Amino acid sequence: DAKTTQPTSMDCAEGRAANLPCNHSTISGNEYVYWYRQIHSQGPQYIIHGLKNNETNEMASLIITEDRKSSTLILPHATLRDTAVYYCIVRSPGTYKYIFGTGTRLKVLA
Amino acid sequence: DAGVIQSPRHEVTEMGQEVTLRCKPISGHNSLFWYRQTMMRGLELLIYFNNNVPIDDSGMPEDRFSAKMPNASFSTLKIQPSEPRDSAVYFCASSLALVLAGVEQFFGPGTRLTVL
């Protein structure tokens, strides 16, 4: 699976959009981009995934560049409860292993 | 839906003792994973079961670690004998068949193990 690179930490004001970038320049054609988050002292939680097209669900939006070498997770209206470590993961379908990197520690500020 | 259930939530033991961590996956899920999380190494996959059969245990640190899944609703991770370096948070996760794209893993709340 391709390696991902994320900023170590980010701050965001409450109520504003949080944009979390991820670089996956070695991604191959059949690999999906997944985002999970881990709130302090809890297990990781699935947020969203995508292959080529932009995706949106009740939690977030995922924007994948046309060359698929990078993506951005958008939390449209961040709240204090969104403070967490966000992991960007690239995985092939049919494989079971998630490689969790160090993630981005997002702090939402009141 | 109760989600993935793990017990105990916290375990403190002394070096050399046997430790058993327990997991109940989400009903209907046929894949189960054990992870370990430490500050130094982050979140690591220890072992993966599919339909109660261990498929990949390459992440198990050494022979002191063993895992079983006697049926679809229960799994254990055992450490014998335990050592201080085993101190970590251990997560269990479950999912549906992984041949499908986009299948997510559901994580339990974790067991925080401290070995003195």
Say if strands B42-50 and B31-38 run parallel, antiparallel, or are unpaired: antiparallel
pLDDT of residue B62: 85
Mean pLDDT calculated for residue range A84-104: 87
| Spatial contact of B77 and B36, defined as CB atoms under 8 Å apart | no
CA of B43: which chain A residue's CA is closest? A100
Inspect the interface and report whether the beta carbons of B107 and A43 lie closer than 8 Å.
yes
The whole-angstrom distance between residue B58's C-alpha and the CA centroid of its chain comes to: 14
User: Is the pLDDT at A26 greater than 80, yes or no?
Assistant: yes
- Residue A44 C-alpha, separation from nearest chain B C-alpha, in angstroms: 6
Size of interface A-B (CB pairs under 8 A): 51
Task: Give the DSSP letter of residue A5.
Answer: B
- B105: which chain A residues are within 8 Å (Cβ-Cβ)? 44, 46, 98
A28-44 pLDDT, tens digit per residue, is 888 899 999 999 989 99
User: Is the pLDDT at B103 greater than 80, yes or no?
Assistant: no
In chain A, residues 62-101 whose CB comes closer than 8 Å to chain B: 93-98, 100-101
Cis peptide before B81 (omega within 30 of 0): yes
Inspect the interface and report whether the beta carbons of A46 and B102 lie closer than 8 Å.
no
User: Is the pLDDT at B81 greater than 60, yes or no?
Assistant: yes
Residue given tokens 């430790």 in the structure block: B19
User: Which among B13, B19, B9 has a CA at the least distance from the CA of B78?
Assistant: B19
| Spatial contact of B32 and B49, defined as CB atoms under 8 Å apart | yes
Q: Which amino acid is at B108?
A: G
| Spatial contact of A85 and A28, defined as CB atoms under 8 Å apart | no
Task: Give the DSSP letter of residue B112.
Answer: E
